[in-house]
Chains A and B, each alone.
Chain A
């Protein structure tokens, strides 16, 4: 089991830079996740780690061994990296058994049989060996692709949108299963996805990419609650940014009043800032002093997501259990439930 270290990795096609100065570290047995909208370079980065794309600058180290740099490129088959592809890429001309045994074809027949059977039972498909890939459902194909990648005991497992072609229900249960399997075997893994729920379910560490840059590398909790960049805040969860300015006591003056969290506010006195307000930071409480008007309402099943307008015209999102119904135009009271403040330099505010 091993660590993965990227330092200032840059990948480009021709004059175009796809991945721009990415650095992160993934420790032994950790599961990492690269998040981002499509076209942000996350799949290209994954392919560079696998050895399919050369890096134009920077270094990729696997287990403290240099595998990619502008001067050195170890070919993919020599890296000992396993990969699960987006469309699974099972070999259609081979049976399930032959697919899983493909990476360990140099071992003895008996060793192959044992390893394949062990893996098939791990992924819950014991007895499926003689079938062909086209006879399996999407979820089953996905698990075979995982078993095939794990068979040679790779140093690192890469997964490219591994659950994107499955339906939502299967996706969630399979993500949990795969995480348990990886943790049991103690495998270091890195996956790429655009689905934050998938990232939250799987990852120990996650990063958000935009236009080839890694904006933040943190725990999923950290990405949600302590986004380092307004684009991270925008991509992860919902929320709005409110104008504010830092006061003497290192609190922030906004349309919601004087805000302060448990943690000390970053920033200097008098600086103009934007404050991230998540819907779960605000509770509708009719007894509260802060008043706002409901301007929109979205039904989300267990709760409603309300858009409330403050006196100065800025908008906020807040959630309320779905048996608490408010009409559009109704005036409500807002209570704050902030334990920390997330501030960004001013200028990105939506309102």
Chain B
């Protein structure tokens, strides 16, 4: 009797567990998508009310034109810059050999460590009237104030230049991976059909890398659309600054939501253009025989030009701003002993660590759900599971401001309900439990960065075939032991990588943090940004340096992963067998949208 009851209850638990798995995945996806749903819905609901229609028409008449125009100039300018610099550097470092190429291969990733808003403010300092450049100019020429005109960096052109130099590594990284993976035979087939070495680049390597270039440029442009710090600091009005102004300056939530939905549609257009531009080439097959071609040895003027084309982006994108930051930090050594400063560091680290833990945990849950589902036959439930994972990964494309607005609205609604309920029942005001605490921040970070974790964990998990599980079982492991003795050791690097990537991204994140941080709660990014905004450039130095140092970690990870790939092609141009561990760090692959940093 007792036996049957315990057996029945065990079956019940098992059934509930299975059901829970089926339900929890879509549930997680819906919660992650909630801010998105709010923003999209607000646009349509907003059209219903008289007042909202008035807001929208006001927006359209007065500001939208300017936002669209500025955003377009930014997109075109940054797009051209990153394409030119990224593709040139990728090709030169893959197909040619010239002095310095070895360290330039990884140095070209360094600008990724610099958040655009930090680069923006270092240039503003360097090129200001009292800055080193104008000082030197005056010392050389003997000019004084008003004797000359100097181009103003804090302008739309300045914003294009700064973002171009910061974001080109996206194109470089993805395109270089594509060039390396291209079949040597395709280039050689071109040579036997009468193409010279440079022609074979234009006619074969470049068109074949087109999907990857499109992906890299799209990533850079999504960052451009999402940027708030740079454009605000340089006084360029775009959608992101507009959302801030409408939300804080005018206290107009509906207007902010509607601007957010317009920004969102711009992102969607961008993604569609990318999808279309890939067309047939999505089926592009690299071929098995992807040995490296003998690199062309460049000498003399050619070598110098190639070196310059690769070195200047590093100089302007990383070395100069980093030197400026170092010099400011050296000026303000007192800050390093300041307790308030270390409070900021603690805040940032705690937030980043929590967000990393949460996203990796959710990513693990989702990826395992998908893996279990993929073992079954294609049923409706499997498709729902897979769709859930895709929906939960949408956040990478959504600008932080949009997410912040989308998180704030439902959470403050929830808080008001809780306060109302609590006051009527207990007569107590519990305060803003969700929208006024770091819960809101963590929620936003999870929405924005979950896709990074999912991609990394998934790429780790795909290396563990079902056959591996089965051979483990045949060799006598229990299903729990399969997890601990096979999966965990194999996944460990992926999990750590996923955690580090999210950790660093959270440290750098600015717009969502600005909107959602609790009262009197500051982070390194916020401090660096606020100090710079108050023209206390040197004071911003130490916080900025900390962020850049953290940003270097994923750059090192990426360059190591890239190195290993390069090593598949050793000096003699002969093939060396790749090891599965070469693909461990969910590297970006061409034709697949991925946000590495």
Contact = CB atoms under 8 A, between A and B. Distances in A.
B193 A102 contact: yes
B200 to A, nearest CB: 8
Considering residues A90, A148, A154, which has the most beta carbons from chain B within 10 angstroms of its beta carbon? A90
Interface residues of B, number: 30
A93 B210 contact: yes
B192 A86 contact: no
Contacts of B148: none
Given A14-B572, A87-B287, A93 B280 contact: yes
Nearest to A52: B188
Given A92-B285, A132-B283, A152-B193, A76 B188 contact: yes
Contacts of A86: 185, 289
Interface in B257-311: 280-281, 283-285, 287-289, 294
Contacts of A50: 188, 192
A209 to B, nearest CB: 17
A13 interface: yes
Contacts of B183: 87, 89
B241 to A, nearest CB: 40
A331 to B, nearest CB: 46
A169 interface: no
Contacts of A154: 192
Contacts of B34: none
B196 interface: yes
Nearest to A160: B185
B183 to A, nearest CB: 6
A89 B188 contact: yes
Given A16-B572, A92-B208, A134-B285, A83 B280 contact: no
Given A93-B284, A132-B283, A134-B285, A83 B194 contact: no
A77 B191 contact: yes
Nearest to B279: A93
Contacts of A93: 207-208, 210, 280-281, 284
A103 B280 CA distance: 22
A220 interface: no
A29 interface: no
A77 B194 contact: yes
B192 A77 contact: yes
Contacts of B191: 51-52, 75-77
Considering residues B183, B188, B192, which has the most beta carbons from chain A within 10 angstroms of its beta carbon? B192
Contact of A77 (B186, B195, B571, B572): B195
Contacts of B571: 14
A164 to B, nearest CB: 11
Interface string B549-577: 00000000000000000000001111000
A94 B197 CA distance: 19
A87 B189 CA distance: 11
A237 B372 CA distance: 50
B289 A152 contact: no
Contacts of A87: 183, 185, 287-289
B283 A75 contact: no
19 contacts: A14-B572, A76-B191, A77-B193, A77-B195, A81-B192, A83-B189, A85-B185, A85-B188, A87-B288, A89-B188, A92-B208, A92-B281, A92-B283, A94-B207, A102-B190, A103-B192, A103-B193, A148-B189, A149-B192
Given A76-B192, A77-B193, A89-B185, 6 more contacts: A75-B191, A77-B196, A81-B192, A82-B192, A93-B207, A102-B190
Per CB-CB distance, the 7 closest pairs between chain A and chain B, nearest first, are: A89-B185, A103-B193, A13-B572, A85-B185, A134-B283, A76-B191, A87-B287
Interface of A: 13-14, 16, 50-52, 75-77, 79, 81-83, 85-94, 102-103, 132, 134, 148-149, 152, 154
Interface of B: 183, 185-186, 188-197, 204, 207-208, 210, 280-281, 283-285, 287-289, 294, 571-574
